[in-house]
Amino acid sequence: MTAELVLPVIFAGLMAISLLAYVILDGYDLGVGVLLPLGSDEQRDTMIASIGPFWDANETWLVLGVGLLLVAFPMAHGIILGELYLPVALMLLGLILRGVAFDFRVKAQAHHQPAWNAAFAAGSLLAAVSQGVMLGRYLTGFAPGAAAWGFALLAGIGLTAGYVLLGAGWLIMKTEGELQQRAVRWAQRALLGTGLAVLLVSIATPLASARIAAKWFALPDFLLLLPLPLASLALFVLLAISLPRLAARQAAGNDNFCWLPFAATVGIVLLSFWGLAYSVFPEIVIGRLDIWQAASDAEALRVILAGAIVVLPCIAGYTVFAYRVFRGKARGLSYS
Amino acid sequence: MESLDPVTLARIQFAANISFHILFPTISIAMGWVLLYFKTRFDRSGDAAWLDAYGFWVKIFALTFALGVVSGITMSFQFGTNWPGYMQHVGNVAGPLLAYEVLTAFFLEATFLGVMLFGRSRVSNRVHTLATFLVAFGTTVSAFWIIALNSWMQTPAGVSVVGGKVHVVSWLAVIFNPSMPYRLTHMLLASGLTVAFLVAGVSAYRWLRGDRVASVNAALKTGVTLAAVLIPLQILVGDAHGLNTFHHQPAKLAAIEGVWHTERGAPLQLFALPDEATQSNRYALGIPKLASLIITHSSDGEIRGLNEFAGAHPPVAKVFWSFRVMVAVGMAMLLASWLTAWQLRRRGEPAPWQARLLVAMTFSGWLATLAGWYVTEIGRQPWLVTGILRTADAASSVGGGMILSTLLMYLALYVVLLASYVSVVFYLARKAGKPLAANLEGVTA
C-alpha cells in the first residue's frame, strides 16, 4: 500500500532530476550550437571543441528522462507525447541534424563544411525552440486556442534564450581571447531575452491556470515561495552587473571567476525548474492525470528503482571523471 | 493491397526508424571490439601500423556512433507515441528491461566515448585503453538488454497474464527466454560480420587505389580473417536459431519455408512466389525433402503448415523472401571471405578481383542484418508479443495524416543521411591515402 504511494513520488523525482540534468547539460551545448553562426571559422572549431567530448552523454539524459516517463508513467507518456506529436517530431529532426552535422562537418569534403555548419546551427535552434514549445504546451495542459499557442511560442523563444545564455556562459568558461570577449556580449543579449521570458512565463502561468495561481498566491505558501523569485532576480542582477566587469578584466588578462556566468545561469535554471515543478506537482498531465493515476505497477517500479540506486551514483561518478579529464580551456579536438 | 490506415502507417514509420537505427549499432557493437583489438596490438607491439589503423577506424566509429545515438533518441519517443498499448499490457516486463539498458549501457558508452575519442593526450595510455574497453562493453550490454526484450516478445516466458496484463513471475525466465541465447548470439555475430566486411571492403578500396601501407594491410587481414572465422559460426548458430523457431514459433517457420499445409518430407524452396489468395506457392523450385531434413533432422520429418495458424500467421511472401536474401548474402560472405583468406595466406595480398569483390560487399552485412530482422519481426505478426498482445491492439490513436507527414520527413532525412554516411566513409578512405601534409587539416572531431 505505501509502496503504491511512495514509488510514484520517487520516480517523479528521478524523472525531474533527469530532465533537469538534460536541460542544463544539453542546454549549454544546444546554446553553443545556436551561437555557432556568430563565430568566425576558427572560432567555430573552438566552439565545437568545447562541447565535443560531452554532447553524446548530455543527450542520454533526455533518453533517460523520456524513458522514465515511458516506463514509470506509461499513460502519461502516451497522452503527453501524443499531444506533442508535431513539436516532438521537429525536435527529433533538429537533434538528428545537429548530432550528425557534428561529425560530418569535419569528416565530409571541405566544400560541404558550410552546409553542415548550417545544419548544426539550424538543428540546434530547431531542437531548442521545439523543446520550449513542448514545455509551453505542457504547462497549459495542451489547451486549444491562439492564446495557448502564443504562450507556447513564447516559451519556445524563452527556453532558447535560456539555452543561449547557458551556452555563452559555457564559452566564457571554456574559451579565451577574442571568442571569450564575444561570448560575454552574446551572454548580455541572451540575459535580456531570458529575463523577459522568465518574467512573462511567470506572469502568464498563474493567469492560464487557476489551480496554479491558487498554489502560489495563498498564504502562507506565498511567503514560503517568495525566496524563489527573489533569488532568481538576484542572480539576474548579479549577471547584469558582473558580465561587463568580467569582460573588462578578461581583456586585461585576468580570468578569475570565468565560471561565474555559467554557474549563475545554472542557478536560474534550478530555481525556474523548482518553481515549475512546484506548480505542476502532483499532476503529471495538467488537469487530467496525477502521478499515482499514471504510474506503472509497483512491481515494475521496484525492480527499476533497485537498479537505479546502484547505477545512478556510478553514472554521476564517471560523468564527473569525464568532465575532469577535459577541464580547463577547450583546445582543438584531436583523436591523437 | 493494404490500405494506409493509421495502424499500417504507425508500423511503417516505426519500421523505417528502427531499420535506419539498427544499421549503426550493428557496426558500433563489433567495431568497438575491433578498435580495442587494434589498440591492444599497438600497446603490446609498439607497431605504429596498429595505431594508424586505430586512428583511421576510430573516425568512422565516431560517425557511426553519432548516427546511432540520434536515431536511437527517436526510438525512445516512438515506443510510446506509436504503441501506447505496449506499455499498458507488458510494461511490467518492457519497462525494467528498457530502463536497465539506459542505466547500465547508454551512459557508460556515451560518457567514455568522449574520453576514447578526444582524451588520448589527456589521460594515460592505460586509462585510454580502458575507456575503449568500456565503450565496447557498453555497446554489448545494450545489445544484451534490447535483445532480451525483443526475444521475450517473440517467445514470452516467466510471466503470468491477468486481465490482459503481464506480471513477472521469474526475471531469469523473462531475460533468458527460449529464443534469447540464439538471437543474441546471432545478432552479435551479425555485427561482427558486418564490421568484418566493412573493414575488409574499405581496406580493399584503399589497397586498390595503391594505398598499401602497413596499416591498410593489417586492417585488410583483420577484416578478412574475422569474416572467414565468423561466417561458419554464424551458419551453425543460424541453423540452431531456426530449430528454436520451429519449436517455439512454428507459424514463422512455416512462412520462412513456404509450407502452406502440414506435410512430411517438405522440400527446401529455392524459389517460389507464395500466394496468400490461393494458399500455395507459384513457380516453386525446390529440393525434395531438404527442408524437413534441415529442420527436423529427418528427411521424413513433419513441418506444421500455415493452415494450422489460419488468421494468425505472418504475411508469407515478405518473410519467405527476406529469409532467402539473408541466406544468399551469408553464402556470398562465406565464398568471398574464404577465397580471399586463402589467397592472403598463400600470397600475402588479395587478387585484384577479390579486392573488387570485397569493395562491392562493404555494406553486405547491413543487407543481411536487415533481411534477418525482417524475417524475425514480420514473422512475429500478427502478434506484438506472441500469444499475449496483437500489434493492432497496441497501436496509437494519433491521426494517420500526422503520422504520414512525419514519416515522409523521416524518410527524406534518412535517405540523405545514409548517402552522406556511405560517401563519407569512402571519402575518408581516399583522404587517408593522401600524403601526410595534405592530411593534417581536418584532424578535429
Domain ranges of chain A: 2-325
* Burial (CB count <10 Å: 0-12, 13-18, 19+), residue A54: buried
Assess if residue B291 is contained within a domain. no
Q: Which of A318-332, B2-16, B355-369, B419-433 has the lowest mean pLDDT?
A: B2-16
**% of chain B exceeding 90 in pLDDT:** 59
pLDDT of residue B435: 59
B63:A81 CB<8 A: no
- Quick check: A308 and B103 CB within 8 A? yes
Examine the pLDDT at B137 and tell me if it is beyond 60.
yes
Three-class secondary structure of residue B60 per DSSP = helix
| Residue B208 confidence (pLDDT) | 92
The answer as to whether B272 is a domain residue is no
Nearest chain A Cα to B169, which residue?
Answer: A299
Across residues B16-34, what is the average pLDDT? 95
Question: Which pLDDT value is given to residue A1?
Answer: 54
Q: Do B59 and A85 touch (CB under 8 A)?
A: no
Asked if A326 and B122 come within 8 Å (Cβ–Cβ), the reply is yes
Sign of CA dihedral A226, A229, A231, A237: negative
Q: Nine-digit cell at A210?
A: 487557476
Residues of B in contact with A56 (CB under 8 A): 65-66, 69, 110-111, 113-114
B331 touches chain A (CB under 8 A): no
Does B102 reach chain A within 8 Å, measured CB to CB? yes
Q: Is B311 inside any structural domain?
A: yes
- Whether B57 has a pLDDT exceeding 90, the answer reads yes
Residue B403, C-beta contacts closer than 8 angstroms, at least 6 positions apart = B6, B9, B10, B13, B82, B396
Cβ of B409 within 8 Å of Cβ of A89? The answer is yes
* pLDDT digits 0-9 by tens, A236-294: 999 989 988 888 888 888 888 888 899 999 999 999 888 888 888 888 888 888 899 88
Give the minimum alpha-carbon distance from B324 to chain A in angstroms, rounded to a whole number. Answer: 33
- List alpha helices for A108-145, DSSP H: 113-139
Chain B residues within 8 A of A284 when measuring between CB atoms:
none
Min Cα–Cα distance to chain A from B369, Å: 23
Do the Cβ atoms of A70 and B80 come within 8 Å? yes
Q: Are A74 and B95 in contact (CB under 8 A)?
A: yes
Distance from CA of A152 to the nearest CA of B (A): 20
* Domain assignment of residue B196, given as a range: 6-262+304-439
| Distance, CA of A80 to CA of A285 (rounded, Å) | 7
Q: Is the dihedral of CA B322, B327, B328, B333 positive or negative?
A: positive
**Measured between alpha carbons, how far is A308 from A314 in angstroms, rounded to an integer?**
10
Between CA B399 and CA B387 the distance in angstroms is: 27
A96 contacts on B by Cβ (under 8 Å): 70-71, 73-74, 413, 417
In chain B, the number of structural domains is 1
Predicted local distance difference test score (pLDDT) of residue B29: 95
Across B167-189, b (16+ Cβ under 10 Å) vs e yields ebeeeeebbbbbbbbbbbbbbbb
* CB contacts < 8 A (A, B): 232
* pLDDT of B440 strictly over 70: no
B309: which 3 cell numbers?
495458424
| Closest CB from B62, B74, B88 relative to A92 | B74
Predicted confidence at residue A189, as pLDDT, reads 92
At residue B439 the predicted structure's pLDDT band, cuts being 50, 70 and 90, is very low
Residues of A in contact with B59 (CB under 8 A): 107, 335
Q: Alpha-carbon distance A91 to B285, whole Å?
A: 50
76-135 in chain A: CB under 8 A from chain B: 77-78, 81-82, 85-86, 88-89, 92-93, 95-100, 102-110
Q: Which pLDDT belongs to residue B384?
A: 92
CB contact residues (below 8 A), chain A span 130-149, against chain B:
none
pLDDT beneath 70, residues of chain A: 1, 336
pLDDT of residue B363: 96
The full DSSP string for B348-374 is SS--HHHHHHHHHTTTHHHHHHHHHHH
Residue B176 has pLDDT above 90, yes or no: yes
Contact check, Cβ <8 Å, A63/B73: yes
Is pLDDT of B437 > 60? no
- Residue B425 CA, chain-centre distance (Å), reads 19
- The C-alpha of B403 sits at a distance from chain A's nearest C-alpha, in angstroms, of 9
Out of A71, A81, A319, whose CB is closest to B91? A71
pLDDT band for B152, please (50, 70, 90 cuts): very high
Give CA separation, A226 vs A51, A199, B401, in Å.
36, 14, 46
Inter-CA distances, B391 with B5, B8, B373, B376, B401, Å: 13, 10, 17, 14, 20
Distance from CA of A315 to the nearest CA of B (A): 7
Cβ–Cβ gap B406/A45 under 8 Å = no
In tens, the pLDDT along B200-217 reads: 999 999 999 988 888 899
Q: Which residues contact A91 (CB under 8 A, 6 or more apart)?
A: A126, A127, A130, A131, A134
In whole angstroms, give the CA distance from residue A64 to residue B179: 28
Residues of chain B contacting residue A308, judged by C-beta atoms under 8 Å apart = 99, 103
A304 touches chain B (CB under 8 A): yes
Do B77 and B14 touch, CB atoms closer than 8 A?
no
**ipTM score here?**
0.85
pLDDT in tens, B346-401: 988 899 999 999 999 999 999 999 999 999 999 998 999 999 998 888 887 667 77
**Cβ–Cβ gap A325/B79 under 8 Å:** no
Q: Is residue B413 part of a domain?
A: yes
pLDDT at B442 over 70: no
B110 near A CB under 8 A: yes
| Per-residue model confidence as pLDDT tens digits over B221-264 | 999 999 999 999 999 999 999 999 999 999 999 999 888 989 88
Q: Which residue in B has a C-alpha nearest to residue A70's C-alpha? A: B80
Q: How far is CA B140 from CA B26, B136, B155, B189, in A?
A: 10, 6, 22, 12
Q: Which pLDDT score is estimated for B2? A: 47
Q: Is the dihedral of CA B363, B367, B373, B376 positive or negative?
A: negative
A313 contact B CB<8A:
no
Q: Which residues of chain A make contact with B168, given a CB cutoff of 8 A?
A: 299-300, 303
Closest Cα in chain B to A309: B103
Is B148 a residue whose pLDDT tops 90?
A: yes
